[in-house]
Amino acid sequence: MTHHESSLANRLWTYQAERFPLKKTVPLLAVFSAASITVSANLAGRPLPPLSAYLIGFALVFVLFFQMRVCDEIKDHEDDLRYRPERPIPRGLISLKFITLLGLFLIPVAVVLALLWGHQLIWLLLIAWLWLCAMSFEFGMPVWLKARPVLYLLSHMAIMPLIDLLLTGIEWLPFGAPHQALWFFIALSFTNGCVLEIGRKLWAPENEIAGVDTYSSLWGRRTATIVWFVFIGVSLLLLLGVGIATKASVLIAPLGIVGAAVCFRAGRKYLRNPSPVNEKKVDTVAGLWVFLCYASAGFAPLLV
């Protein structure tokens, strides 16, 4: 059966499995959104908001992350045609136009969701969209920015605290302003974004593709892995800061230390033997680390 003969639903299902895997994305975004809202309430000593706040938060972050994928598809289309023809859009599984229209269709959906909670939330949503738009055009200087991978990474990961500001705003906007210590958590979102991004681009030598930028090829495996370790360490310190601020460090600290140790172990294995298996382990533990950070920061205070 050709791509044109298969149903649109089947093609979309294949697309998500390869480019936006729901089985990994949904749990991570659910924990991220729920933890953000819960941490904001915990820090301020306020009761948790109703279930509708959590549903709207998850829906908004899901829309934003899918739109980030759409923007990446548009931005990387020429490179994908040249270097990665096996991906769904270059191989003709689904068209770039359709995915773009799907991303645009979700704009009014997100606006309605934000308005259902309160008109002030629209401004935080617009800030996130403006940064996403600027990212998609590489801030108007694509050649200059791509030649500076550190600035490229930091500028693109800056969208994570903006998304977190939107999520936490669901809780704190009705009260005027966020708790001061919430910035520990928002900074944690930034560093965790870097952990995920670098972790998924530490590749085995045999998997490197000419024309495709990875941190292992740009910086060398040793330097890239050390930078990944640094971001995990900073994330751990910020997680401990959240634990102290929420008076839940007795639970958060051991979880964070064990989780960081697992990441360091995976990174050392990759350095000693940069095989496809160890490449996959680094990618996996990066995702698990981010999941652990949000789950412990958001829900450990409730247990304490």
**Paired tokens of 302:** 């409730």
Say yes or no: 108 and 164 in one domain: yes
Collapsing DSSP states into helix, strand and coil, what is residue 179?
coil
Distances (CA, A) of 298 to 162, 163, 238, 301, 302: 18, 16, 13, 7, 8
Residue 212 is assigned to a structural domain of this protein: yes
Say yes or no: 197 and 137 in one domain: no
Place of tokens 């952990």: 195
Residue 147: the pLDDT is: 87
- pLDDT(231) > 50: yes
What is the rounded distance in angstroms from the CA atom of residue 34 to the CA atom of residue 59?
A: 11
- pLDDT(79) > 60: yes
What length is written for the chain? 304
- pLDDT(5) > 80: no
- pLDDT(3) > 70: no
Say yes or no: 167 and 275 in one domain: no
Say yes or no: 14 and 51 in one domain: yes
Q: For the domain that residue 50 is a member of, what is the CATH number?
A: 1.10.357
pLDDT tens sequence across 111-169:
999 999 989 999 999 999 999 999 999 999 988 998 898 999 999 999 999 999 999 99
Mean pLDDT of the chain: 94
- pLDDT(176) > 90: no
Say yes or no: 20 and 164 in one domain: yes
- Check: CB of residue 192 under 8 Å from CB of residue 160: yes
If you average pLDDT over residues 273-281, what whole number do you get?
96
If you average pLDDT over residues 295-300, what whole number do you get?
95
Residue 4: the pLDDT is: 52
262 by Cβ neighbours in 10 Å (0-12 / 13-18 / 19+) ranks as middle
Residue 149 is assigned to a structural domain of this protein: no
Query: Which pLDDT band, with edges at 50, 70 and 90, does 213 fall under?
Result: confident
What is the rounded distance in angstroms from the CA atom of residue 62 to the CA atom of residue 189?
A: 16
Say yes or no: 6 and 23 in one domain: yes
Say yes or no: 122 and 218 in one domain: no
Query: Which pLDDT band, with edges at 50, 70 and 90, does 212 fall under?
Result: confident
In terms of Cα–Cα distance, which of 192, 182, 303, 187 is closest to 248?
A: 303
Query: Which pLDDT band, with edges at 50, 70 and 90, does 222 fall under?
Result: very high
Domain residues for the domain of 30 are: 1-141+156-178
- Check: CB of residue 136 under 8 Å from CB of residue 75: yes
Domain count, the chain: 2
Lowest mean pLDDT among 7-16, 53-62, 125-134, 206-215: 206-215
The helix or strand, by DSSP H or E, that contains position 276, with its residue range, turns out to be helix 276-303
Q: How far is CA 150 from the centre of its chain?
A: 17
Residue 301: the pLDDT is: 93
Say yes or no: 39 and 85 in one domain: yes
Place of tokens 């270059």: 90
What pTM value is reported for the model?
0.92
Place of tokens 């991220």: 32
Residue 148 is assigned to a structural domain of this protein: no
Percent of the chain residues topping a pLDDT of 70: 98
Angle between helices 51-75 and 121-136 (to 10 degrees): 20
Place of tokens 């306020």: 46
pLDDT tens sequence across 237-262:
999 999 999 999 999 999 999 999 99
- Check: CB of residue 213 under 8 Å from CB of residue 149: yes
Q: For the beta carbon of residue 65, count every other beta carbon within 10 angstroms.
A: 16
- pLDDT(180) > 60: yes
Say yes or no: 39 and 117 in one domain: yes
Query: Which pLDDT band, with edges at 50, 70 and 90, does 1 fall under?
Result: very low
- pLDDT(2) > 60: no
What is the rounded distance in angstroms from the CA atom of residue 162 to the CA atom of residue 170?
A: 13
